[in-house]
Amino acid sequence: MSEEREAQEPMRGDGDPARGDARRLEDPRLHEFLDGRLAPEERAGFERELAADPLLRDRLRELREVDALVAALPGHVASPGFAARVVRAARRRRLGLLLRVAVPLAAAAAVLLAAFLRPDAGPPPPAEDGYIWESDEETYGSLALTDLEDLILEELKGT
Amino acid sequence: MTGRSDVELMLALKAGDENAFTELVNRHRDAVVNLTYRYLGNQTDAEDLAQEVFLKVYRARGRYEPSAKFTTWLYRVAANACLNEVRDRRRRPTFSAAALDEPSAPGADRSAASPPEEAERSELKEQVRAALAELPERQRLALLLNKFHGLGYEEMAESLAMSVPAVKSLLVRARENLRVRIEPYLRTGIDRAGERRGVR
């Protein structure tokens, strides 16, 4: 063990050289150094440590190599028709949404219109037994459009 | 048109300008496809997922507020899509790590005619790709965003919805895990063996 390293071990390794090595090699400053995140003063201090510590230097070299190997992996650019496909898909989805909303609305409106225009539309006359009909609003006000549609169809069937 | 910033394009899209969307897709398609490709390791899946990313951007146009840098927001959408995709695939019985191991680029396969050095390089690339594919999802994503897309800690934190210290630690673990996995392939330091012998 070099004098330099012997001087460092008691401070960092809790008396166990192997554990001291491992601890030094897990130093997060290695990564911050690689990422250029150390402040100038810290960087200078860490560079001094690196110069004095072959194991730390070696680990830095390995990590740098890992970065280089990852960066060298081939990528893949979008194929020629990609943008056109995406834009088409966006339009299709918008159209789909419009259809999902607009078609039921139009159908409901048509049914309502048909019911409104029916010649005999309006509340039936009071029954002979004296039963008083509720107003249209009371009867239909809280019903969903589809229920209303069913009701109208039933009424039409009955006429 | 060409001079508009990403944010201006997004606001134009929000206001109903569909051409702005085309321009945004054209501008960022390669970055998004590259990220999804490196994350999934498969060209077709990568383009499908990239398309989903842009469709999410399109659907979010009405809610868009330029509070962050557009690319940070875009990477956030892409990162979520990547993480969701892998989660969904895990639920499907057909998914396996082997799906991430498709040979990367035309010509990247090891043919018998390749000179030994080229074959060695190719093998190393495959090992790195495989090691990358084995990393936990967030670690892989962090490494890709940092190494390929140049995102700093702060931007990564926003994209991955994490704190800066958490991102830092994620990156440390990613790099360290990768180093351990490909250690046998790493170039031996010139004086390493001798130094280690001398130290122990």
Write the DSSP assignment of A17-83 as a string of letters: HHHHHHHHHT-THHHHHHTT-S-HHHHHHHHHHHHH-HHHHHHHHHHHHHHHHHHTS---PPPTTHH
Q: In the predicted model, is pLDDT for residue A1 greater than 80?
A: no
| Residue at which a domain ends, from A46, A71, A96 | A71
Q: What is the number of structural domains in chain A?
A: 2
Q: How confident is the model at residue A142 (pLDDT cuts 50, 70, 90)?
A: very low
Contacts of B169 in chain A (CB under 8 A): 28
Give the domain-ending residue among A43, A71, A99. A71
Are A145 and A123 contained in the same domain?
yes
> The whole model's pTM is what?
0.68
Same domain, yes or no: A31 and A64? yes
- Whether residue A77 lies inside any domain: the answer is no
Amino acid letter, residue A52: A
CB contact under 8 A, B47 and A37: no
Domain assignment present for residue A107? The answer is yes
Together in a domain, A93 and A45: no
The per-residue pLDDT for range A102-116, each reduced to its tens digit, is 777 888 888 888 887
pLDDT tier, A129 (very low <50, low <70, confident <90, very high otherwise): low
Instruction: Give ipTM to 2 decimals.
Output: 0.74
Closest Cα in chain A, distance from residue B87 (Å):
23
| pLDDT reading at A134 higher than 60 | no
Considering only CB atoms, A78 lies closest to which of B30, B38, B125, namely B30
Of A62, A76, A91, the CB nearest to B179: A62
Average pLDDT over residues A72-82: 90
Residues A44 and A99 in one domain: no
Mean pLDDT value across residues B139-165: 91
| Residue span of the structural domain in which A34 resides | 3-71
The pLDDT of residue B44 is above 50: yes
A37 and A86 together in one domain: no
Tell me the average pLDDT of chain B. 82
Residue B191 has pLDDT above 70, yes or no: no
Does A129 share its domain with A87?
yes
User: Could you give the domains of chain B?
Assistant: 1-103 (1.10.1740.10), 113-189 (1.10.10.10)
Rama region for B79: left / alpha / beta (φ>0; ψ in -120 to 50; rest): alpha
Chain A partners within 8 Å of B34 (Cβ): 75-77
Residue B193 has pLDDT above 90, yes or no: no
